Amino acid sequence: MQEIIRCGDIKDDLSRLLNNLQYSGLFILTDSNTATLCLPRLESIPEIMDAKRFVIPAGDGHKNLQTLSQIWEFLSQSGATRKSLLINLGGGMLTDLGGFAAATFKRGIRFINIPTTLLGAVDAAVGGKTGINFGGLKNEIGAFCPAVAVLIDTRFFRTLDSENLLSGYAEMLKHALLSGSEALDGALSFDFDGINCDRLTSLLFDSVAVKENIVRQDPSEQGLRKALNLGHTFGHAFESLSHEQHQPVLHGYAVVYGMVCELYLSHIKLGLDRAVFLRVTRYIKENYGTFSIECNRYERLFELMQRDKKNETNTINFTLLRTPGNALINQTATKGEIEEALDYFREIN
């Protein structure tokens, strides 16, 4: 199980970790944003000064086979061995991609994740999922491979704009729904008009703990871990469609839009309390706005959901809630029910 390190001083914590690890060759992967905004905070660490670095373009559009191949080539030409160590410094795109590169290079080298976005800290960097997008589908190719450690320093998040903070908070809202009513009350009371950084940090590590607990019990998603897919069946379809329409939405926004639809299914199929459902929907609408879809896009969304990697048969799989803290995995819905959920989503817009 990977170690989660809550950083007091990122330089001290990373230096201490590196001194405790035995490795042959240190490599750093960043993107064009984190190379400029984040890497300078680490450059005075002696080990980092000597490390070989590779910078990839920023943006989810580069989370693909071509960039993966370039990382493999960099590692190979730089003399990396199976004893080498890779540091992934960046958001969720970079830790997903870097983790998969490490998991597959020479059949696996160790890596450290240092998430620089809220979304990366609560989702991609934690839990051992790695991968790339392929064939127009999110994370279609990948592997379960946990980092040696994940170092979370919330000072990196101070450079984020409100959209990227909200994108990360989407996963925290999901974890709160999976945790229970008390956690949900706390998540829904957070005010983005006057951000309290200390409270956000506290909620962040509570959220990471929820995911850690689930992953610890089911590291390779054979059962319980599927609960973490809440909002993602609709959400990934929304995200893919937004890219097809050349109007991309951030991952967290797609997930909360997906949660509205899946909480609607939870209400009509499992009896999720209407007051809870409406309260969450209202919070999402107030903070995340809308994603415009027309009825003539329903069929395409349905096709994208059918191709979702979480499906195990010819049916579309959902994680639904009976109550906050009581998730049911491997739930199905008819095409009519899916369209009804999309109708509801369009109505609240």
CB of 7 closer than 8 Å to CB of 67: no
Q: Does 142 share its domain with 195?
A: no
Strand partners, 27: 52, 86
Q: Does 239 share its domain with 339?
A: yes
Count: domains in the chain: 2
pLDDT reported for residue 136: 81
Q: Does 8 share its domain with 100?
A: yes
Strand partners, 344: none
Q: Does 112 share its domain with 210?
A: no
Query: 1 falls in which pLDDT band (50, 70, 90)?
Result: low
CB of 86 closer than 8 Å to CB of 56: no
Q: Does 87 share its domain with 176?
A: no
Q: Does 213 share its domain with 308?
A: yes
pLDDT reported for residue 345: 95
Mean of per-residue pLDDT scores for the chain? 94
CB of 308 closer than 8 Å to CB of 237: yes
- Planar angle of CA 307, 312, 317, nearest 5 degrees: 70
Q: Does 284 share its domain with 203?
A: yes
CATH number at residue 44: 3.40.50.1970
* Count of CA atoms in the C-beta half-sphere (13 A) of 283: 21
Helices 251-270 and 335-348 pack at an angle, to 10 degrees, of 120
Asked which of 125, 159, 193 is the last residue of a domain, the reply is 159
How confident is the model over 70-98, as a mean pLDDT? 97
CA–CA distance, 149 with 126 (Å, rounded to integer): 9
Q: Does 17 share its domain with 130?
A: yes
How confident is the model over 107-129, as a mean pLDDT? 94
308 against 11, higher pLDDT: 11
SS3 for the chain is: CCEEEECCCHHHHHHHHHHHCCCCCEEEEEECCHHHHCHHHCCCCHHHHHCEEEEECCCHHHCCHHHHHHHHHHHHHCCCCCCCEEEEEECHHHHHHHHHHHHHHHHCCEEEEEECCHHHHHHHCCCCEEEEEECCEEEEEEEECCCCEEEECHHHHHHCCHHHHHHHHHHHHHHHHHHCHHHHHHHHCCCCCCCCHHHHHHHHHHHHHHHHHHHHHCCCCCCHHHHHHCCHHHHHHHHHHHHHCCCCCCHHHHHHHHHHHHHHHHHHHHCCCHHHHHHHHHHHHHHHCCCCCCHHHHHHHHHHHHCCCCCCCCCCCEEEEEECCEEEEEECCCHHHHHHHHHHHHHHC
- Listing from the earlier edge strand, what are the strands of the sheet with 110-115? 3-6, 149-152, 110-115, 85-90, 26-31, 52-56
Query: 63 falls in which pLDDT band (50, 70, 90)?
Result: very high
How confident is the model over 2-11, as a mean pLDDT? 92
pLDDT at 2 over 90: no
How confident is the model over 66-80, as a mean pLDDT? 98
Residue 329's domain spans which residues? 162-348
Q: Does 42 share its domain with 130?
A: yes
- Planar angle of CA 209, 258, 183, nearest 5 degrees: 30
